[in-house]
Structure 1
Amino acid sequence: MKYTNLPLLQVCLVFFLGVWFGFTDFGLDFSTYLLINLSLFVLFVISFLLTRPYPELTSLFTLMAVLFLFSLGALNTTIHLPKHQENHFTHLLSKDLSNGGFITFEGEVVKPLKSSAYKDKYEVSLISVQGITTKGNVLFQIPVSNELCITSNSKISGFGKLNVFEDPQNPQQFNYRHYMFTQQMSHTIDSEAAQIRVETHSEFSFMSFGERARRKIQASLDKHGFTKDQMDIIQALLLGQKQDIDPETYDSFSKAGVVHILAVSGLHVGILLLILQFVTKGLLRVKYGRFLREISVLLGIWGFATLAGFTPSVLRAAVMFSFLSLALNYRRKTSAINTLALSAIFLISINPYFIYQVGFQLSYLAVISIVTLQPGLSKLYQPKFFADQKIWDILTVTLTAQLGVLPVSLYYFHQFPGLFLVSNLVILPGLGIILAGGILVIVLSLSGILPDFLASLYGQLLDLLLSFVNWIASKEGLVFSDIYFTKSMLIASLVLFFSLVLWNSKHKLWSYSLLNVSLLVLLVCIYLEKRSQLQQEETVVFQTYRNSQLGLLKGSILNLYSDKIQPKDSIKDAYHIKNYKTLKGIDEIQLSGFRNIYKLNSTEVLFVLDSIPVYPKSNFQPHYLLLKNSPNINLDRLISELKPKQIIADGSNYKTDVERWQASAKEFDVKFHSTWENGAFVLLKN
């Protein structure tokens, strides 16, 4: 492939780097970013004008173009950052109100989010805070209640407790604060039903229209006896709502390597595009038929996106396939890579936070891999018959897509489904039938003419899908999990992947050199990471509610000391321990009960004081003192006698005791760490 003929790809890559760079905080104000962009634009125009009389200055023009595009990407990010938006609500908050304070507010519901067992959750766009007009999105939470009807476009006013999202309390845990940052939310408002007023907004919005349409479809389908599992699959595949899927079912799809079909994305919209192209083909016979066909296809794509609630995955797919449908309908010669790049630039221009979203990364890597690598792979074998041609096409598409997403999926999810080829080979050919059949069932159901036998037949088809996925997922020996994969390994893998994407058969020397260097970099990176893993030493006091857990990590072995050691498997499989084990590359966990003294190195000792406050009183000065199970002690006297340099209070202590101890430590100028407030205490040795 001649990548010099793909200007949009080059523009996209430089723009993306600028967008990513824009999230780096250098303390510059918005006017400085704007001045830099204007200066580079002037230099860009001057260099362009100079290239005509002086062709030898083309390199200067290229450099100015790259710098201007890069700065334009950074400016785009800067515009969207809250700190550069004067009326963003975070600028109105005092130190006391920014976390844990009560505020009065008014806002409009953007969309309902997945509820927890105790809380209903909504994304709310603020209109005012403390009576001052403002903007910005927050997560609004309220106890689960049937009294209130809150939908998209509803207006909420009242008061609630404002909290900022915190970092995880234990190392290597999922960072919910960073995830909400990618959703452009930094705070949550917790309220009660009696503290708010809900008004139905009369203005039209596509989000509320889609929500009403989904409720109407669901009510219509409920009349035909679909089971909960069947309805969950229909909601996910056809309505873009996967939040109600049973966690075990979702886990089965993940282990089978087909979890992507549960999120409406490029696969679903691509199939829909083919269906719409086929259905509207007859319009080409009438006057202005090509225009009418394109309008019909675009209405179908964006109508589906509206129905799916404009989730990030369906929004990406709708934008990309809208560009592609225009090219197909008007028979324009275009590269799929250029189309992909154009859609990415469009999306990132609207919302630069997309670059941090895992779905965005996975979807674009998969499509890039399919478009660039699948044609070459498919040429390795030339089937003679229609059936094996289709099987070979599915295999090559699945392999290249998996190759593209492998580095990112290993980094985020640390597992690899060994039977992904089998599951995709069976499910993908039938997915078109499931989607087309689902659309037919929905249309007939809304029209009130859906026959029972057809509803039953479609339900059996969904049961067959679930049974097959569960069977594949049951082969747990072929699901490789807890894979050690670090950020440096991710970057090296992506470099190797793009060296394959940039392969050019007309420049084999350059291509082989880039490929070999990339492979060498990856191997060196893996070696260094494994070496670092074997040399790592770390002491961790985990934050656990009403329990004490101390971890001493050396190499790939974790010695875990816990108050509760029965049953052992439940402790090792605890969320924070399992994540820590995976991300540190731990091969073995040795579980024991607590002892009082731990020698961390030749000079430093950790002393554990529990509910029985007994400690040596002569010639004993531990560097670290761990307080657990709320010992009845006089900390002032203990500090005077033991003279610790650092005091740690874990989650097994009462908060009132921790607050009292913290005051004593401050009085004696001794460092104090409460895992209740500050999360786990981590002491690195290397």
Structure 2
Amino acid sequence: MKLNKQPLLILVISFILGIFFQDYFSWADNFIYPIIGICILILVSTFFRYYFLHITKPYLLGLMFFGIGVVLHFFNSFSAQDISFSKNEAIVFKISKKLNSNDKKRKYEAFAQIGKENINTILYIPKSENELDFKHYYKAEAYISKPKTPQYDFQFDYAKYLKRKNIGYQCYINGKIITAERNDLSRSEKLSQTRLQVLRNIDKTDMSSKSKEFLKGIILADRTEIDVQTVQDFNRSGLVHFLAISGTHIVVIFGLFYFLLIKILPLKLRKYAIISSLVLIWLFTAFIGFGSSVVRSSIMLSVYFIYVLLQRKPDLLHSLALSAFIILIFDTQQIFDVGFQLSFLAVLGIFWLNQPIVSRFPIQDNWFKKLIFNTISISVAAQLATLPLVLYYFHQFSFISIIANFFIVPFSEIIIVFSFVMTALIGFNLDLNILNKLYDFIIEVLLKVIHWFADFDILFFENISMNLLEVFVLFLIIYLMRFAILKLNIRNFSRLIMIVFVFLIIRTGFNIYENSRSEILLHDFSKNKVLSVKKKNQVCFWVNENSDKQKIIRFIINPYCSAKRLHRYKLKVFPKTTQKVVYKGKIYEIN
């Protein structure tokens, strides 16, 4: 691939670099307005035909797109209002999105009014209360707080995550909720309410609870009530992309629409089948709430088929770059979304590695071989391309995922189509008992198979440390793998091995550095404190006996071990009463 044949991709990369630059340096408006002026000058200069401007045009355009990225991210950055509230306030609110529930509370994104102030907030409702909907206003007493930044850099920054979504507060409902009917629903809210009604219709069917939650997740992008064990099984088996709405789902549903339309429309109107299918896909996208992953997939699909309709050869990289640019123009914060990064990297991986991997397989002289070999190659290519970021963000990987994808993915189209038909029937109140039982049986078998794959602990690795430098070198390795697979000669093989050695040297250096350090940290967790004492490559955690140890392991111990490159830890429990620990002349209290 020659980059000079991909000008749009290069310009979009420049645009993205501008977003990262502004996010890191946070330039104020006294820098932003001169950048706007420079961008306008560069744009005007493209209309002049001077030799110097002609030869420097690619660099000037790259600089202009970099500046556009800086400017758009400046105007798209959210700064939470510094509003003082008492601990308990009466709030009036409406929900804008339903979020994942926890053991005790349901969570929603909401728009709330507190006195004369309007805020975007995360709302926590006790599960003893009825579920909220979009067709009511609500009023209740709530405890209001601003999300705190984490104590240490290895912890997940929830405050920053909410800030990227323009949310600056959390509200915990602790009083009776009063409702009032709304008569000002927008079109999007009416669609959200209709979707909510379909979700409630699914809950009324006689399928098992796991099948209901699977159906709601795979088609309606609602995983808010799915049980922890099922989510863990999908994560550990590397099949979480199957549960979440992704490009595969959109392509399959588009294919279903197209198949039905070509059976209805005459041959000369075949192109209108594509247009109608795209319109239906966007209606579906709107219906399930314009989720970021669904919008990404729908834009990419639309761009691809616009090339087809214009009778131009579809270019995957052009489609990918244009899709990313369209999304980021409207919301530059999307580039920091893990799903955004992984989905685009997966497509890049398929573009870069799929054909080289397929070329190493035996000749595919029938449809079965094509199905099997392409399933393997696409899965391996996507997983290799996303592996560096998966390790960086999640610090875990399972080798069983390659085998699990090989067995599950070929059946994914059938399951997606069946799930879509089931959702449509239930949405129109056509609850067919025999179909419910058949679907319930298939999904129960599927979940058991996925659980079986997830139970291969020997192939599952967690607390894998990874920093940005290591991620960059891993991407270099993946880049060079294409050439080594296509043509395994001394030159390509030696380059690949050299970069692998560089990666091992860098990784070993970071391991030695972290394992030579000792430190004592006091971690706040809910109402408890956790004391960690690290001495070189060993660490011990002291916790109170009434604390939730599983959550402490998940939110404190595992992130710490990943950041400090530790493979083992000790966990010691103190009695419920206040304890004092003396270490090297210092006293630490565990409450």
User: Does the alignment pair 1:404 with 2:385?
Assistant: yes
- The whole-number CA distance in structure 1 between the counterparts of 2:568 and 2:255 is 51
Distance, in Å, in 1 between the alignment partners of 2:484 and 2:309 is: 30
Contact 2:304–2:315, Cα closer than 8 Å, also in 1: no
Matched, 1:141 2:135: no
Task: Return the alpha-carbon distance in structure 2 between the equivalents of residues 13 and 79 of structure 1.
Answer: 20
For residue 167 of structure 1, give the secondary structure of its aligned residue in structure 2. Answer: coil
Please, what TM-score do these two structures have when normalized by structure 2? 0.88
Once the 2 structures are TM-superposed, how far is the Cα of residue 101 of structure 1 from its aligned partner?
5.5
Q: Name the residue aligned to 2:472.
A: 491
Q: Which runs of 5+ in 1 are unaligned?
A: 84-89, 600-604, 609-625, 629-649, 653-686
2:201 to 204, 214, 219: 219
The match for 1:461 is 442
Residue 412 of structure 2 corresponds to: 431
Matching of residues 166-565 of structure 1 within 5 Å: 166-169=148-151, 172-194=154-176, 198-216=180-198, 218-219=200-201, 222-223=204-205, 225-282=206-263, 285=266, 289-290=270-271, 292-381=272-361, 382-447=363-428, 451-498=432-479, 519=500, 521-544=502-525, 549-561=530-542, 564=545
Cα deviation for residue 236 of structure 1 reads: 0.8
Q: 1:317 to 1:103 in 2, by over 3 A?
A: same
Q: What is the distance in 1 between the residues matched to 2:430 and 2:571?
A: 63
TM-fit CA distance, 1:547: 5.8
The equivalences for 1:107-118 within 5 A come to 108-118=94-104
2: CA distance between counterparts of 1:68 and 1:212?
44
3-state SS in 2 of match to 1:588: coil
> Does structure 1 residue 63 correspond to structure 2 residue 63?
no
The one-letter amino acid paired with 1:425 is F
Counterpart contact for 2:202–2:212, Cα < 8 Å? no
Q: How far apart are residue 199 of structure 1 and its match?
A: 3.8
* 1:19 counterpart = 2:13: no
CA apart distance, 1:548: 5.8
Number of the residue aligned with 1:34: 33
Is 1:152 the counterpart of 2:134? The answer is yes
Aligned to 1:620: none
**Structure 2 counterpart SS, 1:533:** helix
CA RMSD of aligned residues (A): 3.4
Change (3 A) 1:564 1:343: same
Range with bigger deviation, 545-554 or 273-282: 545-554
Amino acid of the residue matched to residue 145 of structure 2? N
Q: Which has the higher contact order (CA 8 A, sep 6+)?
A: 2
Which one of the candidate residues 102, 105, 111 is aligned to 1:119?
A: 105
1:487 deviates by 3.1
Task: Give, in whole Å, the separation in 2 of the partners of 1:458 and 1:266.
Answer: 23
Bigger shift: residues 66-75 or 510-519: 510-519
How has the CA–CA distance of structure 1 residues 330 and 217 changed in structure 2, closer, same or farther, with 3 Å as cutoff?
Answer: farther
Deviation for aligned residue 1:434: 0.9
Residue 402 of structure 1: CA displacement? 0.3
Deviation digits for residues 553-585 of structure 1 (CA, Å, limit 9, x no counterpart)? 122211445565999x97994641233223312
User: C-alpha separation between the residues in 2 aligned to 1:256 and 1:504?
Assistant: 27
1:347-370 residue CA offsets vs partner (Å, 9 max, x unmatched): 111111111111111111111101
The reply on whether 1:577 has 2:561 as its aligned counterpart is no
- AA paired with 2:521? V
Q: Distance in 1 between matches of 2:507 and 2:197?
A: 50
Task: Note closer, same or farther for the CA distance 1:590–1:455 as it changes in structure 2 (3 Å cut).
Answer: closer
Change (3 A) 1:563 1:349: closer
2:59 partner letter: L
The answer to whether the 8 A contact 1:550-1:562 is kept is: yes
Question: Counterparts of 1:106 and 1:237 in 2: how far apart (Å)?
Answer: 33
Q: Which residue of 2 aligns with 1:667?
A: none
**Quick one: structure 1 residues 509 and 17, their matched pair in 2 at CA, closer, same or farther if it must change by over 3 Å?**
farther
In the alignment, residue 215 of structure 2 is paired with which amino acid?
I
1:75 corresponds to 2:82: no
Q: Alpha-carbon deviations, 1:487-538, whole Å to 9, x = none? A: 33223323444555799989x9998898677545533421221221222221
Structure with the greater alpha carbon radius of gyration: 1
- Deviations along 1:213-267, one digit per CA (max 9) or x if unpaired, are 34236416734x2110111111111111112111001101111111111110111
Structure 1 residues 442 and 544, CA, compared in 2 at 3 Å: closer, same or farther?
closer
- Secondary structure, counterpart of 2:168 in structure 1: strand
Deviations 1:261-288 (A, max 9, x none): 1110111112222222322224663665
Q: Identical aligned pairs, as a percentage?
A: 22
Deviations 1:106-142 (A, max 9, x none): 554322222334433321235x65426x6x6322334
SS at match of 1:189: strand
Q: How many residues align?
A: 584
Residues 365 and 104 of structure 1: is their aligned pair in 2 closer, same or farther, counting only changes over 3 Å?
Answer: same
Specify whether residues 385 and 78 from structure 1 end up closer, same or farther in structure 2 by C-alpha distance, changes over 3 A only.
Answer: same
Structure 2 counterpart of 1:166, one-letter code: K
Tell me the alpha carbon deviations over residues 402-441 of structure 1, each in whole angstroms, 9 at most, x when there is no partner.
Answer: 0011011111211111111221111111111111112223
Secondary structure at the aligned position of 2:539 is classed as strand
Identify unmatched segments of 5+ residues in structure 2.
none
